[in-house]
Chains A and B, each alone.
Chain A
Amino acid sequence: MLGPIDYELWLLTILMEVAGLVCLFKAKAFTRHFTIPLYICSCLAVDIGRYIILSASGYDSGAYFYFYYYSEFLITIALYFVLMGMYSHAFSDMGVSKYLRGGAMLLLGGTACVSYRMVAASADRLITHFVIELSSNLYFVGVVLTYILWGAMMKLRSNRTREMQLVLSLGVYFSALAASYALESMYPGSMLWRYVSHLMTIWLPLSWAYTFLKVPEEARLATSSVVAPNPSR
């Protein structure tokens, strides 16, 4: 059963997603980061869809359960494309976009295969199990990929503040969700993961909105100043 806090967080999520879109539009970054509005729009559609199904069928209904996990799966794929977009930006000067796209598709296929192998033993509701498993695996793959991207940005001494912040906020999102999914599989009765999921769906559009609103495209920052501890003054 959902409580008032859940509904408030839900409303806040939708507001943040709209704010994220507005900030993206104001920053005129729609074309440069086209996967981000794509992701935010799919999140908005999913949030509205979930609300409609919840009102019609209730929280404990099968319809809501299926819609929740299948839509989560689609959102994860959309977020995966956002990450790939960031890889393309980070390596744009090296002209390796074609290989990156190929690698990303291979990884996606590989994750799907591993997830299928993990659920193949269970006979009932195979597709639903598969979708849930694939979502949680993709979150962890997302953590690893974001970490590799961040490492590459540091190695290449990338100094674009906006891209740096977009990648870091994505890393926070993936890490928190991967941890909450793992926590859920360890303690299925725990409600913590639900709130983590809510807070993270607010965090991502909020941090992106901040970045697009406050950090201009031409802003530059040394990666060393982001990673290194404070110099003693």
Chain B
Amino acid sequence: MIAALIICISVLTLLQFFVSYCHSVIAESRGCELSAQAWEVSGIADRMVRGDEFKRLLQLTALCPESGADRTRVRAVTVYFSLLELARMLVGWIIPAMKRWIESERGGCTYAAAVMLDRRIAYSRSLMAHQAGPPL
């Protein structure tokens, strides 16, 4: 009985700590405003970020040259998104409230991917400007 209670409490706290930890890792991206150009390039319709667009945005991000600074963050967001996908498959259809929460989290991951894409576009532009050299 006590062991079962400990398992329940520990699993609940584990979920809460883990989700908060993931939020703290990707929080910086979640708080940024996307530039108009990024909205246009990412092709997100009516500025509504949906979880289904995460993989497409990640592919676009992979096409841009990486600065090295955001590589770990991209991986962290991808891992978190994969865990959400797993949770959606396992429990999403049993508990509707959980499904809504998972969808909202997936949207957050997509937004974080869009912010990374925005940064990479800015980085590749600065690279190009640097290579072109000063104007004559």
A residues lining the B interface (CB < 8 Å): 140, 143, 146-147, 150, 161, 164-165, 168-169, 171-172, 175-176, 178-179, 181-183, 185-186, 207, 210, 214, 221, 225-227, 229-230, 232-233
Contact = CB atoms under 8 A, between A and B. Distances in A.
Nearest to A207: B21
Contacts of B13: 143, 146-147, 171, 175
B18 to A, nearest CB: 5
Contacts of A227: 20, 23
B25 A230 contact: no
Contacts of A226: 20, 23-24, 27
Between A175, A178, A181, A210, the greatest number of chain B beta carbons within 10 A of the residue's beta carbon is seen for: A175
A233 B47 contact: yes
Interface of B: 3-4, 6-7, 9-11, 13-14, 16-18, 20-21, 23-25, 27-28, 30-31, 47-49, 72-73, 101, 104-105, 107-108, 111
A165 B1 CA distance: 33
B4 A168 contact: no
Q: SS class of chain B's interface: helix, strand, loop or mixed? A: helix
30 contacts: A146-B17, A150-B17, A165-B21, A165-B24, A165-B25, A168-B18, A168-B24, A171-B16, A175-B13, A175-B14, A175-B17, A178-B6, A178-B10, A179-B7, A179-B11, A179-B14, A182-B10, A185-B3, A186-B4, A214-B73, A225-B23, A226-B20, A226-B23, A226-B27, A227-B23, A229-B104, A230-B30, A232-B104, A233-B107, A233-B111
Contact of A233 (B17, B24, B49): B49
A227 B18 CA distance: 11
A164 B24 CA distance: 8
B88 to A, nearest CB: 15
B21 A221 contact: no
Contact of B24 (A147, A161, A182): A161
Between B14, B30, B31, B107, the greatest number of chain A beta carbons within 10 A of the residue's beta carbon is seen for: B14
Contacts of B47: 233
B23 A140 contact: no
Nearest to B111: A233
A227 B28 CA distance: 14
A39 B20 CA distance: 24
B17 A229 contact: no
